Each structure stands twice: as structure tokens, then as C-alpha cells.
């Protein structure tokens, strides 16, 4: 499929220049106010998408979306009949945006979270597999009491990672308990508060998986205040591999999203969906890998 896209979209030649058309692309993002401030990886992803589309001559509209109101800015923009395609970035669970885009006949892709339903286009990192590998990694170090500090319970990217954890617990014959999972915002304050709650309620936990690096930074502060050493007392893993993670004390073990140019893939494939030449459905899942640093150790070395 990517070969087809590359055939029509030669490097350095914008599709709008080839066809004389500049498309209007809506990037639909959650409407909560802390969405950009608390998650630098999200802001970077959006900036890369914006830069890539604009390099090809297209117009980008980043618009907020609320699931509880048909009057949200995203619905209003889509109803104005000026949108050629849409990217649903960090989609909500149970949202009706998919049905609305289908009703309007607007091509789209999910990214930064997806459903598992057939017929719903996505180009995304394999968050589910990435989380699965974290639990498998910790299990290999001897950990059996693993706590999870998750993100918002209505965001698909969070649920994808949670499903990966559940898959691994099942396959490794570990006992799953919802008490070992604390959900909240993707921000350091949640990581800080969640660790204090988790270690109070589940004191036998020997490893913690934070669903992004920002959460892990808050967890580190809380663990230090509780005089719990990383990794001697508690191992800690993040997700996203932010640049700062390498310079934390100790350097954070985390999940890296492979350095594929996902923005370029989204631009090329979405343009193919608009022109409706070769591609009818899109299911692209990009790899992740664990970057092992110094925040994890074998459980035998612990308290």
C-alpha cells in the first residue's frame, strides 16, 4: 500500500502541486485544556503532522472535539462542507465521530489510539503490543506484583495500553486486579498522587508501569519522598521515550516508538483516500521497543 502511495507522491513533490489541488485537513483533538500543556510528546506529534501537510501545500485546521455535545467545534467544522479529510488524534472511547465522518463521506484515519473494529482506518504505533512487552519484561525480572498508573479512562490510547497489560497478565498467568491500576490525566501530578495511593493500598508492589514518561516523572518524585529507591525498592517503566527520560536519576526505562516518519505515512495514505484511486481501507501498525536503562532491576535485589 505504501508503495502505491509513494508511486504517486514522489519525494519533494507535493500532491497539491501534482494535481493543482490544496486539500483542507481537519486534525480533531480532545477539547480538554491540559491536552497540550501536560504531554510534550503529543504536542510534538501534532507539530510534525502540521509541518508535513503544509509542506505538501495543504491547509490544516486543528479543532477541538467534545463527545458530549453535537455543538463541539469539530462537528461544526465538519458540517461546513470545507473539509476534504480528517485525522482523529487521540480519539475517545465510544465516540460517534466515526459515524459522523462516514455519514458525511469524509475520508479519515485514527492515530494515537484506535479501536479494534474492522472498517475503521488507523495509522498508529502498536500501543497494545508495547504495553504487553513492558509486562513481559518486568515478569522476566521476577516481578509478580506490578502496579499500573494509567491515563484517562475514556481515551483509546490509554485503553490500548491497558489491554496490552491485560493480555500479558493472561498469557503469563498473573493474577489481574483492578486495584493495581490507577487512572487519571497524562500529567506528572497524576503520577505523583497515584504512586502515593498505590503504595499505601498495595504495599507489596515491586514494579510500576507508568503509561507515559510524564506520569513516570511524577512517580519518581513521590517515590523519593517515600524513601523508596529506584530500582532497588521499586522498578519503574515509562512509555514514549521523551528526551528528558535519559537524563532522569536514575535514567528511565521506557517504550520507544520506532523512528518511522509516521507523519509522512499519514499524509501519503490520507491523500490516497481522498483521491480514492487505490486504497479503500487502512490498517497500519508501527513497532515499539523497550529502551532498557537503570530504573529497573531483578526483584531479588529488592526489599
pTM: 0.89
Q: How confident is the model at residue 36 (pLDDT cuts 50, 70, 90)?
A: low
What DSSP string runs through 46-94? HHHHHHHHHHTT-EEEEEEE-TT-TTSHHHHHHHTT--SEEEEESPBTT
Comparing C-alpha atoms, which of 214, 155, 224 is closest to residue 189?
Answer: 214
pLDDT of the residue at 66: 86
Could you give the domains of the chain?
A: 2-125+258-286 (3.40.50.2300), 127-256+290-301 (3.40.50.2300)
pLDDT digits (tens, 9 = 90+) for 196-216: 999 999 999 999 999 999 999
Q: Is the peptide bond before 191 cis (omega within 30 degrees of 0)?
A: no
Q: How confident is the model at residue 258 (pLDDT cuts 50, 70, 90)?
A: confident
> In the chain, which ranges are continuous DSSP H helix?
2-8, 15-19, 40-55, 73-79, 97-104, 127-140, 156-171, 188-201, 213-225, 262-275
pLDDT digits (tens, 9 = 90+) for 2-12: 554 454 444 43
Amino acid at each position: 500500500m505504501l508503495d502505491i502511495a509513494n508511486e504517486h507522491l514522489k519525494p519533494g513533490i507535493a500532491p497539491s502541486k501534482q494535481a493543482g489541488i490544496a486539500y483542507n485537513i481537519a486534525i480533531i483533538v480532545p477539547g480538554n485544556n491540559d491536552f497540550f500543556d501536560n504531554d510534550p510528546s503529543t504536542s510534538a506529534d501534532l507539530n510534525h503532522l502540521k509541518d508535513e501537510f503544509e509542506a505538501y501545500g495543504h491547509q490544516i485546521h486543528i479543532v477541538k472535539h467534545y463527545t458530549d455535545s453535537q455543538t463541539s467545534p469539530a462537528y461544526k467544522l465538519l458540517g461546513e462542507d470545507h473539509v476534504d479529510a480528517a485525522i482523529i488524534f487521540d480519539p475517545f472511547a465510544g465516540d460517534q465521530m466515526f459515524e459522523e465522518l462516514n455519514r458525511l463521506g469524509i475520508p479519515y484515519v485514527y492515530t494515537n489510539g484506535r479501536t479494534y473494529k474492522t472498517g475503521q482506518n488507523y495509522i498508529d504505533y502498536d500501543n497494545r503490543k508495547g504495553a504487553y512487552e513492558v509486562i513481559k519484561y518486568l515478569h522476566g525480572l521476577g516481578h509478580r506484583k506490578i502496579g499500573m498508573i494509567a491515563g484517562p479512562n475514556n481515551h483509546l490510547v490509554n485503553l490500548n495500553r491497558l489491554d496490552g497489560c491485560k493480555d500479558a497478565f493472561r498469557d503469563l498467568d498473573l493474577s489481574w486486579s483492578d486495584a493495581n491500576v490507577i487512572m487519571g490525566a497524562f500529567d506528572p501530578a497524576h503520577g505523583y498522587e497515584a504512586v502515593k495511593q498505590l503504595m499505601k493500598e498495595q504495599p507489596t508492589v515491586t514494579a510500576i508501569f507508568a503509561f507515559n514518561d510524564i506520569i513516570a516523572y511524577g512517580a519518581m518524585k513521590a517515590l523519593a519522598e517515600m524513601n523508596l529507591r529506584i530500582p532497588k525498592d521499586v522498578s519503574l517503566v515509562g512509555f514514549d521515550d521523551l528526551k528528558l527520560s535519559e537524563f532522569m536519576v536514575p535514567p528511565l526505562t521506557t517504550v520507544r516508538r520506532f523512528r518511522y516518519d509516521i507523519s509522512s505515512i499519514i499524509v501519503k495514505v490520507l491523500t490516497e483516500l481522498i483521491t480514492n484511486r487505490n486504497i479503500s481501507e487502512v490498517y497500519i501498525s508501527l513497532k515499539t521497543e523497550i529502551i532498557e536503562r537503570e530504573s529497573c532491576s531483578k526483584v531479588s535485589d529488592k526489599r
